Amino acid sequence: MTAHTKGTGLKWVGRAMRRVEDPALVQGQGHFTADLPAVHWVRFVRSPNAAGKIKSIAKPAGALVITAADLKGVKPITPMLHKFSYRPVAQPILAETKVRYVGEAVAAVVAASEEYAEDIADLVEIDIDETAPLIDARDALKDGAPQIHAVAPGNVILEGKHKTPGFDAVWAAAAKVIKIDARSHRQNATPMEARAGHAAYDAATGRVTLTCTTQMPHLMRTAIADVLGMPESDLRVIAPDVGGGFGQKMSLCAEYVVLVWLARKLKSSVAWTEDRRENLIASFHSRDQYITLEGAFDKDAKLLALRADVVSNVGAYSCFPTTSGVEPLMAMAEMPGPYDVQQYQCLARGVLTNTCTMAAYRGVSRPIITFTLERLMDKAASAFALDPIDIRRRNLIEKFPYTSAMGLVYDEATYKETLEMAVKAIDVPAFRKRQEEARKQGRYLGIGFATFSERTGYGSPAFAARGMEITPGWETVILTVDPSGFVEARIGSSPHGQGLRTTLAQIIADEIGVTPDVIKVVHGDTDTSPYGWGTFASRSLVISGGATLIAAQKVRAKLIKIASTMLEAAPHDIVLENGAAKVAGTDRSVTIAKMAREAYTQTHRFKGEIEPGMTETGTYDPPGTFSNACHVAIVEVDIETGHARIEKFLVAEDAGRIINPMIADGQVIGGIAQGIGNALLEEIIYDDGGGILTANLADYMPPTAREMPPIELHHLETPSTQSITKAKGLGEGGCIGAPAAIVNAINDALSPFGVQIDEMPATPQRIRTALRDAEKAAKKTA
């Protein structure tokens, strides 16, 4: 690594530098979409019914109300997969002849203020010939179930199948088969800023600028231009400060299409700010799955084969760009997790229902498959009379690179080392003693482990393997040293809280020998940043960071060339540091600002050998790299109320080289909080008629500061060989491991009662029901 020996070396990378994003945000100077004034405001009228034919829509006299009939020529949103028997389900921008879930947008009311738009929306009458809805995926799979889309027989939108050769023979020879029927209920990613969009028409150019709270501005531009049939150059998309996304803001929203259409029609500015109820019922949902998983073990508790049946409720439509394959196909691809198991059979189906459309949410299926697999390992440990730690020791991957039963190549990681690190740090023997003493007093403590792999920073081949028509893999960075000597990086990625402006500046600073305060990272505007995919899938630091490093290496090479001319020294004697090029071992130097100025203004000095200016481009499309961690939870369950309190949480994790430890820890802790919500609190509940019972933040409950336990973090840094910065991604790990560790701990606490909780969230009600059922069963046998 040249940066060790030249320039400022690792001076900035690895440092817990304060974030450059923060000063504006703590002073209320951020720019969020809803801050923009508009001439017209939009309120969507949404379907009150989950299924049925639209008979009529009555608009109040004199009001501007847009329905599907007005949007002639606008194409439906039809994302595409070229594999897995995918059915190309189409979503009309506004419901056309049918409604398919409660909350589906049927009409758009336009008025001079948000309040008036709401008043008018209340007067729009939609008459729907209601039919019986399908809410649960298993009901939608039944013979004779109503068809939600004609194009998808049996309501199956896609079917992933995998079976390794030799599976049957290994399965038949197994000593024991352990089975789990796991259930993960539905969640909403719940960014604190709900969706918002603002489209403004510019009469001089005929262009529309859409400002919206998105994780993918460039793809939104492509997608909306496609749907509206307009030149992409007539649309500019800006993602300003974005108040969290967690995957919910990486899909195309029909609402934004309507805004751009209206701005062009009205030749004016049009805004929509979603309210929280709309966000909870009609943005995107996730994690609604049934998984049946069986593990075949030999007599020594070595896992030989896995068989999985994944039923993923994908809701009413398919999200763009990932399609509703995002959850079932992720579950299929990564089910074997961190374990060495070479035989695998899987059936993973995406099932359409009359519910809100499923899309990516931080972790995408991995919180569920980790929960399922880690519960299975604990059940197997119990069946073999082994400690849960021992069964993991026997089965974790040790040799790298490791090719999984699905053909994924795992780069070097530390599955066993992080497990041992966590076991040692939590002091298991001391806990077991405390647990035994507590039980004598009628208190029930439990400990739970989760080991997992987190596939991060994967480029376009990984998306191509899913058959995606759009493979959002690579990233581009354009790095400029301007004539004043200041540095600007324009990136295609689109951070929204991850601190990428800080971490990319750290990478650039080390490579070209400047301090981060002269570097600006610019993102989120399709007019000024290069085409790129955005921030999601734990990818930005790996992929955009890699592209940044490539661009910075090119700038560095150019600076050295210029310095060697100006200082009349050999290139290998030039050192870049503290904003200057120096000749090693001498006092001869020239500032980077002066070199940059001359690269623009004195180009004749370089005899045509150096291109004018100081702008270089880097593009990076890596194969992907696996982070890993072991999570441990200690809980206490109140058996009277069913309430589970997390007493302590411990993480031993390895995400390769850490660029900024403060930001990295923040990602892990924030992920754990979402994992706690998943494990204990958060559930979108539909009634039988398809109405949502959890349409506010008192009923849908993200964790508060009270629910957070003390969290202890331990780190290993195994530099990635699959990432040029050596960094691995870590944005999702926190929420991947936590639910499994917590629910395993609850089961450990309740082990005296013979209770098995294989359902998330493990609410007090579910825990009490399980305890009551166990009590009844015990009475019967007595």
Task: Please give the residue ranges that form the binding site for other proteins (CB under 8 A).
Answer: 18-19, 21-30, 32, 34-35, 37, 114-115, 119, 190-194, 241-244, 246, 273, 275-276, 496-499, 662-663, 665-666, 669-674, 696-698, 702, 704-708, 711, 734
Q: Measured from the CB of residue 27, what is the shortest distance to other proteins in angstroms?
A: 6
**What CA–CA distance (Å, rounded) separates 301 from 174?**
10
- H or E segment and range at residue 741: helix 733-749
Q: Measured from the CB of residue 21, what is the shortest distance to other proteins in angstroms?
A: 7
Read off φ and ψ for residue 552, nearest 5 degrees.
-70, -35
Q: Which of 707, 636, 647, 634 is nearest to 673 (CA)?
A: 707
Cβ neighbours of 396 (radius 10 Å): 22
Q: Which is nearer to other proteins, 191 or 337 (CB)?
A: 191
**What CA–CA distance (Å, rounded) separates 507 from 509?**
6
Our CA dihedral for 635, 637, 643, 644, rounded to 10 degrees, sits at 10
Q: Which is nearer to other proteins, 17 or 514 (CB)?
A: 17
Q: Measured from the CB of residue 702, what is the shortest distance to other proteins in angstroms?
A: 6
**What CA–CA distance (Å, rounded) separates 385 from 366?**
27
Q: Measured from the CB of residue 98, what is the shortest distance to other proteins in angstroms?
A: 31
Q: Which is nearer to other proteins, 154 or 244 (CB)?
A: 244
The residues, any chain, with a CB within 8 Å of residue 154's CB and separated by 6 or more, are 141, 145
Q: Which is nearer to other proteins, 241 or 411 (CB)?
A: 241
Q: Measured from the CB of residue 275, what is the shortest distance to other proteins in angstroms?
A: 6
Question: DSSP readout, 562-618?
Answer: HHHHHTT--GGGEEEETTEEEETTSS-EEEHHHHHHHHHH-GGGGTTSS-SS-EEEE
Q: Which is nearer to other proteins, 705 or 782 (CB)?
A: 705
Q: Measured from the CB of residue 430, what is the shortest distance to other proteins in angstroms?
A: 24
CA 493 to chain centre: 14
141 contacts 159 by C-beta, under 8 angstroms: no
**What CA–CA distance (Å, rounded) separates 321 from 251?**
6
Q: Measured from the CB of residue 246, what is the shortest distance to other proteins in angstroms?
A: 7
Task: Quickly count helices (H) and strands (E) in the chain.
Answer: 20, 29
Q: Which is nearer to other proteins, 706 or 779 (CB)?
A: 706
The residues, any chain, with a CB within 8 Å of residue 560's CB and separated by 6 or more, are 571, 574, 576, 581
Q: Measured from the CB of residue 281, what is the shortest distance to other proteins in angstroms?
A: 14
Q: Measured from the CB of residue 82, what is the shortest distance to other proteins in angstroms?
A: 35
Token readout for 428 is 């298991």
The residues, any chain, with a CB within 8 Å of residue 775's CB and separated by 6 or more, are 753
Q: Which is nearer to other proteins, 26 or 430 (CB)?
A: 26
Q: Measured from the CB of residue 198, what is the shortest distance to other proteins in angstroms?
A: 13
Look up residue 428 and give its amino acid: V
Strand partners, 77: 91
**What CA–CA distance (Å, rounded) separates 782 from 780?**
5
Q: Which is nearer to other proteins, 51 or 242 (CB)?
A: 242
The residues, any chain, with a CB within 8 Å of residue 525's CB and separated by 6 or more, are 217, 236, 237, 238, 239
Helix (H, G, I), strand (E, B) or coil at 210: strand
Q: Measured from the CB of residue 720, what is the shortest distance to other proteins in angstroms?
A: 24
Q: Which is nearer to other proteins, 35 or 640 (CB)?
A: 35
Q: Which is nearer to other proteins, 243 or 656 (CB)?
A: 243
Q: Measured from the CB of residue 270, what is the shortest distance to other proteins in angstroms?
A: 16
End-to-end CA distance of the chain, in Å? Answer: 70
Q: Which is nearer to other proteins, 34 or 512 (CB)?
A: 34
Burial of 403 from C-beta contacts in 10 A (0-12 / 13-18 / 19+): exposed
Q: Which is nearer to other proteins, 194 or 223 (CB)?
A: 194
Q: Measured from the CB of residue 499, what is the shortest distance to other proteins in angstroms?
A: 7
258 contacts 41 by C-beta, under 8 angstroms: no
Q: Measured from the CB of residue 292, what is the shortest distance to other proteins in angstroms?
A: 32
Q: Which is nearer to other proteins, 48 or 702 (CB)?
A: 702
What SS3 string covers 187-200?
A: ECCCCCCCCEEEEE
Name the region of 363 (left: φ>0; alpha: ψ -120 to 50; beta: rest): left
Q: Which is nearer to other proteins, 534 or 618 (CB)?
A: 534
Q: Measured from the CB of residue 663, what is the shortest distance to other proteins in angstroms?
A: 7
**DSSP code, position 678:** I
Q: Which is nearer to other proteins, 252 or 672 (CB)?
A: 672
**What CA–CA distance (Å, rounded) separates 628 from 417?**
10
**What CA–CA distance (Å, rounded) separates 373 from 36?**
47
The residues, any chain, with a CB within 8 Å of residue 472's CB and separated by 6 or more, are 216, 219, 321, 460, 463, 533, 534, 536
Q: Which is nearer to other proteins, 30 or 579 (CB)?
A: 30
Name the region of 323 (left: φ>0; alpha: ψ -120 to 50; beta: rest): left
Q: Which is nearer to other proteins, 114 or 621 (CB)?
A: 114
Q: Measured from the CB of residue 25, what is the shortest distance to other proteins in angstroms?
A: 3
Q: Measured from the CB of residue 641, what is the shortest distance to other proteins in angstroms?
A: 19
Q: Which is nearer to other proteins, 472 or 734 (CB)?
A: 734
Token readout for 712 is 């202890």
193 contacts 257 by C-beta, under 8 angstroms: no
Q: Measured from the CB of residue 661, what is the shortest distance to other proteins in angstroms?
A: 10
Q: Where are the beta strands (DSSP E) in 256-382?
A: 269-273, 289-297, 303-315, 343-352
Q: How far is CA 487 from CA 499, 505, 517, 596, in A?
A: 18, 9, 9, 10
**What CA–CA distance (Å, rounded) separates 519 from 504?**
9
